[in-house]
Chain A
């Protein structure tokens, strides 16, 4: 006599057999003590598995996990700060280059292309002021001052935008 397969027995335990299959299996079970015993074993295994208890996680694991989370949050934050510092430094360099180039270019453009009375007056007044200040502080000091002011102007715009984004998020 051919015995029932484990699959058939398992499907019977899980109530997955079709009506027709069930009739055939039950017929066989009524005649075969080996398969009946096997079915009994599967059923008790099923109940045993349903009754089993959960294994307890070690004590204090919440504390360890939360500690790890806090540590990771801090390290992420310091990484972010470092990254922002690097970006700021890089922006500072870029701003310095742009400022210097802009200063040189604007100076040339004002001297060559503006012909209105207002511009001429502006050029003359600023040239006089520059020569007075230049006499007091020296031409090179004045130029460095102009570049630095332009640089600070660009930097303040950058930090304002940064701050605005930080507040928005």
Chain B
């Protein structure tokens, strides 16, 4: 079967073949899910937002300008949706904290020790989830999606230099998390 480009699929969807959109979903679902899971640090939230992002992008396809790649445009939707979700979650938790002072903070997403017996990739994912979301998003887009700093700068709406700085800081922070969890032997 001929491998259709993103633009060809979009054209087909816009011509009325809505089912072709599932090709785009299968192309981006895993990577977008990885990004969301790392940013939101919760699988259920990641799945919910992933569905919303695909639905949102389907109905916004008409407004997609072909100056940028579809992936950049789509990841921008994913990133913005995740940021909105995170800020909503933080607000909710702050409100809860105001009413219950002495309860454990649910945002403390420390990884349980027993989970560190899982394989290398799993350990790395858990370590990345410990990072602040602006670090994990840069790490994921750069390494997992193989995006350039220019593309990332368009997605997170910042300068290229800032992306480079964020990348360096996130790598240092990840190294710090790994050493805090005593995972150097397993990972580095």
* Chain A residues in the interface with B (C-beta under 8 A): 6-7, 10-11, 13-14, 16, 41-42, 44-46, 48-50, 52-58, 61-62, 64-66, 68-70, 72-73
Partner of A66 from B21, B120, B121, B168 at Cβ < 8 Å = B21
A88 to chain B, nearest CB (A): 26
Chain B hits for A42, CB < 8 A: 171, 175
Provide the bound-state CA to CA distance between A64 and B30, in Å: 15
Provide the bound-state CA to CA distance between A16 and B19, in Å: 45
Interface membership of B50, Cβ < 8 A: yes
Chain A hits for B18, CB < 8 A: 66, 69-70, 73
Docked-complex contact B175 and A48, CB < 8 angstroms = no
Provide the bound-state CA to CA distance between A11 and B165, in Å: 10
**Stretch from B54-62, B110-118, B150-158 forming part of the interface with A:** B54-62
Provide the bound-state CA to CA distance between A46 and B172, in Å: 11
Interface membership of B47, Cβ < 8 A: yes
Determine chain B's interface SS by DSSP, over half rule: helix
Determine chain A's interface SS by DSSP, over half rule: helix
Docked-complex contact A54 and B47, CB < 8 angstroms = no
Chain B hits for A49, CB < 8 A: 124, 139, 143, 171, 174
B29 to chain A, nearest CB (A): 4
From A6, A54, A64, name the one whose CB has the most chain B CB atoms within 10 angstroms.
A54
Interface membership of B8, Cβ < 8 A: no
Chain B hits for A50, CB < 8 A: 143
A11 to chain B, nearest CB (A): 7
Docked-complex contact A41 and B175, CB < 8 angstroms = yes
Of all chain A residues, the one with the shortest Cβ separation from B125 is A55
